[in-house]
Amino acid sequence: MSEYKRSDLNRIIKKEEGSKEGELTQIKWTLRDVLFSILFLIVVLTGIYFLTARIVVALKLGERIDSSNITNFSFSVLYGIQVILMVGVVWFFAIYWRRAKWRDLGFKYYSILKTVWYSLLALLLILLINFVYVFLMTRIFKISPPPGKFEDLVSNENVSSIMLLIVVSVIAPICEEIFFRGFLYQGFKKRWGVLAGILISSFLFASAHLDLYNFIPLMAIGWILAYIFHKTKSLFPVIFLHAIYNLLMIMVLLSQLNQIKIY
């Protein structure tokens, strides 16, 4: 009888483990890790910005950092430092310090067909949100959008279109999804729940872009990405969606500025 019960118990345990397959169950990093990582990035990146600004002034390249004195090399170096720091704090706190696995951050397989389907639906929703927002701002409130940072870079032709395409549609989606969804969202969710995790990570995602005019649509995009990540438990769908959206936006921008032609 005891053997029968033991075997039943083993089957129940295996069944429960199987039912949880695909879920992220090991969030080993803490809210303190998340807050320290955010504070570290703010301090270090701010310090790098002001140091670079002083170098620009010292070399008489301009009075401040702007699109006129950014080149392919400086853009690559500065953005590369940002990528290394963002992914680096995730590696340190989650992988090295807390002994988590990359799988715990969301690096796990998800259906390709579902990824494409969800991305298509989400992309339509994001475009609708952007359209409504721009309509309200320009037609109702009479507030025109200021020139974007990428628009300035492209128009001045200091940074190549290929460089922007690679950074915006490949590197940025991977790096940002690891940090904001895989690391931050899960850290906040572990402490305060799903809704708070989505809200706070989306707010930080929008804030990190330093674009006050587009803050609301950026936060909406962050909310959609976090929700998809919560439902799929995988980074691949949100990386794909993020990459497709960024690629679409940069292609439209480049075509408007006659840097590329879209037929």
Count of structural domains, the chain: 1
Q: Which is more confidently placed, 71 or 83?
A: 83
Q: How confident is the model at residue 26 (pLDDT cuts 50, 70, 90)?
A: confident
pLDDT at 158 (0 to 100)? 75
Answer whether 0.85 is exceeded by the pTM: yes
Residue 135 is assigned to a structural domain of this protein: yes
Residue 15 is assigned to a structural domain of this protein: no
Question: Which one-letter amino acid corresponds to residue 197?
Answer: G
Residue 3 is assigned to a structural domain of this protein: no
Tell me what percent of the residues of the chain surpass a pLDDT of 90: 65
DSSP 57-124: HHTTS-SS--GGG--HHHHHHHHHHHHHHHHHHHIIIIIIIS---GGGGT-S---HHHHHHHHHHHHH
Domain residues for 135? 28-256
